[in-house]
Structure 1
Amino acid sequence: MPDVHWNHELVDQLDWHFANQARPRLDGLTDDEYFWEPVPGWSLRHRDASTAPTAPGTGDFTIDFSYPEPVPAPVTTIAWRLCHILVGVLGARTASHFDGPAVDYQNFAYPGTAALALAQLDEYYARWIQGVKSLDEAGLGAPCGAAEGPFADAPMAALVLHINRETIHHLAEVALLRDLYAHRHLLQRGSEGEPGL
């Protein structure tokens, strides 16, 4: 029976998807798409335009947020989803495990353009995947530690799988929002009593 190189398998699951499917689907993302709200929900907003109970962030933009999350959960924009990936999925974990810069929702300067968000996504993703590539068998088996809450006692491999799932599913949601944006004229026709989607 051949040896399984678990680090390679964990890396390849996300890295192949990111390079061949998810990231190419973001090429050409416009600011209009980035901020488009198919229905009222959560997004990034200029600090003076936010109506959220809290206004996390340090720059000109803040992210809509409340805890506990409303039920049903608000529909979120591409901007919101990309920033969630930047901060909560990749940034905070790279800071905790691979000496990346400190990142949290309260103190993040949220990117106010699609181009800046994509540049940060590329940067944060590169840090994360390089960190994962550096893990040997002992590193993959080591407990995640207190910074990871429910993953504190879980092996690092479990956190890597979790980050793979989070990144893949949120970027798939972004791709779907781009598809809806591209066909929004059909949504508008449907809301005017004509055949829609």
Structure 2
Amino acid sequence: MDADELDWNRTLREQWEFHWNHQLRARLESLTDDEYFWSPVPDAWTVRPRDGSTSPVRHGAGDFTVDYTFPEPVPAAFTTIAWRLAHVIVGVLATRNAAHFGAPEVSYETWEYAGDAATALDQLRTQLDIWLAGVAGLGDAGLRVPVGEKEPYPEAPMADLVLHINRELIHHLSEVCLLRDLYAHTASTTNGATR
């Protein structure tokens, strides 16, 4: 096949969709609230009820906030599944959906974070659907258009952003799966699980 005939838009979407359909979706569907909040180390960053957070910075518009501080600590704080999903939902997807595909403006400060695993997974699926529909709507020509001032590298083509988002999704959601494995082999068989 000639490179000029290749459907680059479909190819970029399929990179993510294959991983989602064959590696991640089934692994995430049964996520429990205990796993969602589980912290294998003390003082991990997570999503917490607004009145229960001791984090120096608490982002969120609803009943739950996400832990954060700036500058970030060294070493970086360990983060729970809840925190990692919040990052993917808001920082990776929802802000990009707003910047590029007409979704409502959002930020870490204005997001209503999920207080349970099922709600977080619903938020994830919603943002993924918006992202994939937006990317599909770009066609091949739209992949060549610069991303603009809402991104750190405004002259980069949209294809670069799609590849970056694919990497972020694969990376962070694979971490979630690893934490689920760790939970299954440690916390679920002991009384030492912490929240």
% same residue: 54
What amino acid sits opposite 1:42 in the alignment?
W
Structure 1 CA distance for aligned equivalents of residues 148 and 125 of structure 2: 26
Q: Name stretches of at least 5 consecutive residues in structure 1 with no aligned partner.
A: 192-197
AA matched with 2:138: L
SS in structure 2 at match of 1:64: strand
2:56 and 2:96 map into 1 onto residues whose CA distance is 26
Q: Which residue of 2 aligns with 1:60?
A: 63
Long gaps (5+) in structure 2: none
Q: What letter matches 1:11 in structure 2?
A: R
- What do residues 61-102 of structure 1 show as CA deviations (whole Å, max 9, x unaligned)? 100001111111111000000010100001000111011121
- Do residues 118 (structure 1) and 121 (structure 2) align? yes
2:142 maps to 1:139: yes
1:161-172 correspondence runs (5 A): 161-172=163-174
The Cα of 1:137 is off from its aligned counterpart by 2.4
The answer to whether residue 84 in structure 2 is matched with residue 81 in structure 1 is yes
Is 1:129 the counterpart of 2:129 in the alignment?
no
Q: 2:104 aligns with which of 93, 101, 105?
A: 101
Verify: 1:180 aligned to 2:182, yes or no.
yes
Letter in 1 for 2:50: R
The code of the aligned residue for 1:78 comes to I
One-letter amino acid of the structure 2 residue matched with residue 142 of structure 1 = V
**TM-score, normalising length from structure 1?**
0.91
Residues 1:72 and 2:75 are matched in the alignment: yes
CA RMSD of aligned residues (A): 1.7
- SS of aligned partner of 1:63: strand
SS at match of 1:24: helix
Q: Corresponding residue for 1:23?
A: 25
Per-residue CA deviations over 1:29-72 (Å, capped at 9, x if unaligned) read 11010000000210011111111111110111100001111111
Match of 1:158, SS state, is helix
Equivalent position SS for 2:143:
helix
Structure 1 outlier segments of 4+, above 6 Å = none
CA–CA separation in structure 2 for the residues paired with 1:124 and 1:142: 22
In structure 2, C-alpha distance between the alignment counterparts of 1:77 and 1:10, rounded to whole Å: 29
Distance 1:60 1:148 in 2: 30
